[in-house]
Amino acid sequence: MFPVLLFYIFSLAIIASALMVIFSKQPINSVLFLIFSFINAAGIFLLAGAEFLALIMVIVYVGAVAVLFLFVIMMLDFNPDTIKKEVGKHLYVGLFIGFILFLEIILMMYSPELFSYEYQIVGNTVKTSLTNTEILGNLIYTEYFLQFQISGFILLVAMIGAIVLTLRHRDYVRRQIVSDQVARDPKLSIELVDIKLKIRK
């Protein structure tokens, strides 16, 4: 009874924090609520017996990704009025996509026969002496090795695309030209000046 109660508490906290991420006026508050939702998701993983995934959720998502979001938001100057205008432009498209995703989740929960039997793992118990980390490692690097490598390649392409999109040439920024610095004559670069000191009496 107590694990079920904790599950509902964590679930409600995740839903509430996710809504606050969307409807919060300040971007920093949105990131803080996102961190709170990640921590509650880690609690659900602990209840399910997946302590490795819980630690990954806290270390990677909370300790790295969310903190990176927080630093970026604190460094950039966001205008809430501009954000509202941009959200208003794509509001209906976002609502439509959200409705489709919500419908897919409902279908997966109440009509599992529509999907492949490979993903119907709810209620199945695997009896083994291996830990969760060993089981995940065996699955990722044996049966799902190709999918794992493809996902890593997709993340690499996304990282390169983000760098290309944000890399802009600014004329007012002084850039360092290493070849010109190496080719300079030291005699022309350094000037020795003999400073004569005047001693006041």
Q: What tens digit of pLDDT does each residue of 71-87 get? A: 777 777 666 666 677 76
98 in a structural domain: yes
- Number of domains composing the chain: 3
* pLDDT tens digit sequence for 139-168: 888 888 999 899 999 989 988 887 877 776
139 in a structural domain: yes
Q: Quote the mean pLDDT of the chain.
A: 79
121 and 141 assigned to the same domain: no
Return the closest-CA partner of residue 43 out of 64, 15, 14: 14
199 in a structural domain: no
Return the closest-CA partner of residue 17 out of 71, 62, 52: 62
Structural domain of residue 96, as residue ranges? 90-125
8 and 61 assigned to the same domain: yes
User: Residues 159-187: what's their mean pLDDT?
Assistant: 77
Tokens of 159: 């990282």
Q: What is the pTM of this model?
A: 0.57
Contact in structure between 33 and 24 (CB atoms under 8 Å): yes
181 in a structural domain: no
95 and 59 assigned to the same domain: no
196 in a structural domain: no
179 in a structural domain: no
For helices 67-75 and 27-47, give the axis angle rounded to 10 degrees: 180
* Cα radius of gyration rounded to whole Å, the chain: 27
* pLDDT tens digit sequence for 17-46: 999 988 887 778 888 888 899 999 999 988
Return the closest-CA partner of residue 19 out of 98, 84, 96, 88: 98
